[in-house]
Amino acid sequence: MSDQTPVVLSREGHVAFLTINRPEARNALNTESLHAMREHLATVHQDPEIFAVVLQANGDRAFCAGADLKERRTLNEDQVREFVRQIRATMDDIANLPQPTIAAIQGAAFGGGCELALSCDLRLMADQALIGLTETALAIIPGAGGCVRLPRLVGAAKAKQMILLAERLTSEEALACGLVHEVAPAAHFAAELDHLLQRLLKNGPLALRAAKDAIDGGLNMTLEQALEHEASCYKRIIPTEDRLEALAAFAEKRPPEFQGR
């Protein structure tokens, strides 16, 4: 990838690929890359023709090494606070995308890189990669959602172990604790990512959005509120053409052809 843009947005059919493009800096996040990422995320959020999103990085050495510490050394305290606010907002933008998201972790994902992955719905990790929230080793804490999202994913005890000890997990360890969903051999990573995408895209795109909303929206609600929210998400699907297409395809014993309508 020769484009010098720090984050590149590309499309393949109904899939958007957001690629962090700073391999010379181990794809670390600086102010410029955060602004570019947020602009692309706003575009993706509003596009009904995008059914799924992949967050990836240029090269297989590093998915994202977290915040760019070279830039961090040049910032005063107020600028650091603004950077942390921006990186946290970026993670929220990813988490709040209506489309299902996949983190394609082909290299090391530490600190903010791990937080990027945590902001996605699904995580595919290469077998040789490492992942972790290692901020305490730098006398800071995960400040872009890691202290909140990790325990909700792997449990408080495991999250404390990882964060307080600044652990770097192997792919096998990340899979075992539920931090990632699948592990792929590095040599076949692209094929495994495509296979995961195809499994996702064979399902109704509007149903995927509604299911994501029902799950995420209900997490902080009471049981009764969450059930009502799920019902409202279901109601959105009832009048769609895709739902009728699924019924027709079932009756005709053929694969459905969903249009996202």
- Report the DSSP beta bridge partners of residue 15: 12, 52
Phi, psi of 110 (to 5 degrees): -120, 150
Pick from 196, 235, 229: nearest CA to 213: 229
Query: Can 7-201 and 205-252 be said to share one CATH topology?
Result: no
Residues annotated as part of the active site:
67, 112, 115, 135
The domain ranges of the chain are 7-201, 205-252
Task: Assign a CATH topology to domain 205-252.
Answer: Lyase 2-enoyl-coa Hydratase; Chain  A, domain 2 (1.10.12)
> CA 185 to CA 206: how far, in whole Å?
32
Per-residue model confidence as pLDDT tens digits over 32-56 = 999 999 999 999 999 999 999 999 9
> CA 235 to CA 215: how far, in whole Å?
15
> CA 35 to CA 149: how far, in whole Å?
22
Sequential DSSP letters for 29-81: B-HHHHHHHHHHHHHHHT-TT--EEEEEESSSSEEE-SB-HHHHTT--HHHHH
- Note the pLDDT of residue 89: 95
Q: Exposed/middle/buried for 243, CB within 10 Å: 0-12, 13-18, 19+?
A: middle
Write out the chain's pLDDT in tens, 261 residues.
546 899 999 999 999 999 999 999 999 999 999 999 999 999 999 999 999 999 999 988 899 998 888 888 898 999 989 989 999 999 999 999 999 999 999 999 999 999 999 999 999 999 999 999 999 999 999 999 999 999 999 999 999 999 999 999 999 999 999 999 999 999 999 999 999 999 999 999 999 999 999 999 999 999 999 999 999 999 999 999 999 999 999 999 999 999 999
Return the CATH number of the domain spanning residue range 7-201. Answer: 3.90.226.10
Phi, psi of 10 (to 5 degrees): -135, 165
Query: Are 131 and 220 spatial neighbours (Cβ–Cβ below 8 Å)?
Result: no
Query: Are 36 and 5 spatial neighbours (Cβ–Cβ below 8 Å)?
Result: yes
Per-residue model confidence as pLDDT tens digits over 139-166 = 999 999 999 999 999 999 999 999 999 9
* Angle, alpha carbons 185-186-189 (nearest 5°): 80
